[in-house]
Chains A and B, each alone.
Chain A
């Protein structure tokens, strides 16, 4: 049995295209209540050690973003399947 697989680096181009877009316009689904929403519609808490985006429907955490010197961490476990528009691409 051989797996038809590549090194993860081969995803670099596709991931670069996605992570260069404006994430606030991306739509996803709340993992808790299944509401679909754009990330820009989330309730953002900023008086905290990081940014916390919560679902406007159920207050569940959608994403957490922590910014340190020279590093950042993004946890999106509260959102499933983000949909992006790719400007200029077909």
Chain B
């Protein structure tokens, strides 16, 4: 068998157009694997709610109508899962956390996201701001399915995907860091794929 001049961009680790490599240790996938640490919550939009609480205990609530009345952005991002698959150029619609938190007064440094079903994940508040994070409600032109975290999930694509809490129900803004579901059992507290921060001490 002769194979001449076939260079897969995935195999070479280079993206077309000379864009940067994949993060270290990642491989490309075309499908969208579904990872879940428990039963998939099926939350109807009618009863869906998002709560943001600040370090002073002030609570802000959005129901589905309130959330989707906010300005929505379309964005295309690369996803990097700590189980080593990466999926490039995924197309989403959602509400920027800058928009969501615009009226929320806080001096907290940390955020802890909670999900329907009990999942949690922690990250510095600054990683949710400046156009880096969204409450995503549509994927690839369709409403977000429960398998992918619908009706709404957090999306923080510059960190490993476990930080992008599916079925997000609350974001607590805190003065102290509080390790989440995976961060408390071996996974890295920050999870930057470009520095390959998979496990404690990486």
Contact = CB atoms under 8 A, between A and B. Distances in A.
Interface of B is mostly: loop
Interface string B149-173: 0000000000000100000000000
A64 interface: yes
Given A68-B186, A73-B186, A49 B35 contact: yes
Contacts of B83: 49
A59 interface: yes
Interface size class of B (residues with CB under 8 A): 20 to 34
A68 B84 CA distance: 12
A16 interface: no
Contacts of B187: 49-50, 66
Given A68-B199, A71-B199, A50 B186 contact: yes
B38 A66 contact: no
A54 B182 contact: no
Interface residues of A, number: 19
Interface string A53-67: 010000111001110
B35 A48 contact: yes
A38 to B, nearest CB: 20
12 contacts: A45-B36, A49-B82, A49-B83, A54-B38, A59-B39, A66-B187, A68-B198, A72-B186, A73-B185, A73-B186, A74-B185, A75-B185
The 3 closest A-B pairs by CB, nearest first: A73-B186, A66-B186, A68-B199
Interface of B: 33-39, 82-83, 118, 162, 181-182, 184-187, 198-200
